[in-house]
Structure 1
Amino acid sequence: MMDIALIKECADPSLRPAIVEKFVEAAGSPDPLTITVNSGGRLILVPKATTADSAMEIIRQNVGRAVVRVGLTQFPAGVVLKEAYELKSDLVEPCANLRMGTLMFAKILRIVAKWYGNPRSEDVFPQIFEDAVYAWKTGEFEGVSVFEAEDPGGSIEMPKQSKVHSIDDEEAAMTIPANGTNEDLGRAGIRIDLSRIGGN
């Protein structure tokens, strides 16, 4: 679980903390020094970085020749800066990486939401989020290079907090209490409002 203080201080404010956490869980890494290198659809094994300096050395050796993903958000290092000499160590600094990654992911969410017609139904949001994560990992959505595409702007606050439940509530509902068991979940049953049946 991510540090909520880090999310509040560093993540793009257009994304709610629950969405940031889900994004990093789905597409990122818990280790800010994680570097993933892909070339021609194949994962290239690189030494494990133990310091920011060693991480930057690995990044500089591979950027421009392969797809290099970096840090908490697995930010694509070569997208904004093409030349190795332009790369700075804030790529592996947790706060800066989270800021850059969530800013870019928010743009991708807006691109995907626009393609869906900017729906406001909370039922559609999981599909939009899933497509945005896929676009983050592949760099494309419906033939568009999402990292270089123009930001369509607009709001991405779906589902709204004022709706029946939020993403946080969904996760809480799926969590087994500390003193509970799987059997407790089975006994909970399905909750249906029957108060209106049989009355006039």
Structure 2
Amino acid sequence: MLDAVLIHQCADPSLKPAIVEQFIAKAGSQDPLVVTVRSGNRVVLVPKPTTPEEALALIRDNLGRNTVRVGLTQYPAGLGIVEAGQLKSDMVEPCENIRMGTTLFAKVFRIVSKWYGNPTAKEVLPQVMDDAVLAWQTGYFEGVAVFRAEDPGQEKVTRPATAGSQESENGADPNEDNTAPATATDTVASDPNKAGIRIDLSGIRARP
């Protein structure tokens, strides 16, 4: 289980620790150096990095060609990156990875919660959480590219179930689109949603 102190010090303050724990348990990893590489719907076997430098080299080798997730939160490594040289090793540093990952997941959670009508009924909340995790893993929710979508609000998420009214203390959104034009390869690297369309989404259940 993730250290509670680490969650308190590093996680996005708009998420309750219980949500962060569920998020990482369902979508993340217990190894801060883990790098997951996917090509289409298959996992690419890569050497297990033992240092942040090795992890960074592995990310650089695959960014632009495959979908790359990294660290405790399995953060989409290509988000906001136009070229591999912009990558920094702190992406796999536990606290920084949790900060980046939970900030982005908080937005995804708000997008899903809004679609459900910001429900408060306890029986609905697990479904919201499950769909938010699925959206994190695929990059999409109801056809919306969640990593690039506009944040529906900076409300406080006070329980795994709902969003409150207090604004998040997030600063500038690190997940906004770059304004500079990109090549086809750059687009894959900078937008995991573009790479994510190669993931097999056939298992996602249909909605009424």
In the superposition, the TM-score normalised over structure 1's length comes to: 0.78
Q: Deviation per CA, 1:65-120: give whole Å up to 9, x if none.
A: 11100000000000221310111111100000000000000000000001011112
Bigger relative CO (Cα 8 Å, ≥ 6 apart): 2
**Which residue does 2:108 correspond to in 1?**
108
Q: Is the 8 A contact 2:15 2:156 kept in 1?
A: no
Whole-Å separation in 1 of the counterparts to 2:67 and 2:82: 11
Whole-Å separation in 1 of the counterparts to 2:4 and 2:119: 28
**Which residue does 1:83 correspond to in 2?**
83
Q: Give the secondary structure class of the aligned counterpart of 1:118.
A: coil
**Which residue does 2:93 correspond to in 1?**
93
Q: Give the secondary structure class of the aligned counterpart of 2:36.
A: strand
Whole-Å separation in 2 of the counterparts to 1:17 and 1:80: 26
Shift of 1:47: 0.6
In the superposition, the TM-score normalised over structure 2's length comes to: 0.75
- Bigger radius of gyration: 1
Q: 1:140 to 1:71 in 2, by over 3 A?
A: same
Whole-Å separation in 1 of the counterparts to 2:128 and 2:157: 10
Q: Which runs of at least 4 in structure 1 moved beyond 6 Å after TM superposition?
A: none
Shift of 1:147: 0.7
Whole-Å separation in 2 of the counterparts to 1:44 and 1:80: 23
How many residues are matched? 160
Q: Give the secondary structure class of the aligned counterpart of 2:78.
A: helix
Q: Give the secondary structure class of the aligned counterpart of 1:38.
A: strand
Q: Give the stretch that moved more between structures: 113-122 or 142-151.
A: 113-122
Q: Give the secondary structure class of the aligned counterpart of 1:149.
A: coil
Unmatched 5+ stretches in structure 2: 163-208
Q: Is the 8 A contact 1:33 1:50 kept in 2?
A: yes
Q: Deviation per CA, 1:38-82: give whole Å up to 9, x if none.
A: 011111111100000000000000011111000000000002213
**Which residue does 1:193 correspond to in 2?**
none
**Which residue does 2:37 correspond to in 1?**
37
Whole-Å separation in 1 of the counterparts to 2:137 and 2:107: 14
**Counterpart AA for 1:50:** T
Q: Give the secondary structure class of the aligned counterpart of 2:82.
A: coil
RMSD: 1.1
Whole-Å separation in 2 of the counterparts to 1:132 and 1:18: 15
Whole-Å separation in 1 of the counterparts to 2:129 and 2:13: 17
Does 1:156 pair with 2:157? yes
**Which residue does 2:12 correspond to in 1?**
12
**Counterpart AA for 2:122:** E
Q: Give the secondary structure class of the aligned counterpart of 1:36.
A: strand
Structure with the higher fraction of residues in helix conformation: 1
**Which residue does 2:165 correspond to in 1?**
none
Once the two structures are aligned, what percentage of the paired residues are identical?
61
Q: Is the 8 A contact 2:33 2:70 kept in 1?
A: yes
**Which residue does 1:60 correspond to in 2?**
60
Whole-Å separation in 1 of the counterparts to 2:158 and 2:127: 14
Whole-Å separation in 1 of the counterparts to 2:84 and 2:62: 8
**Which residue does 2:178 correspond to in 1?**
none
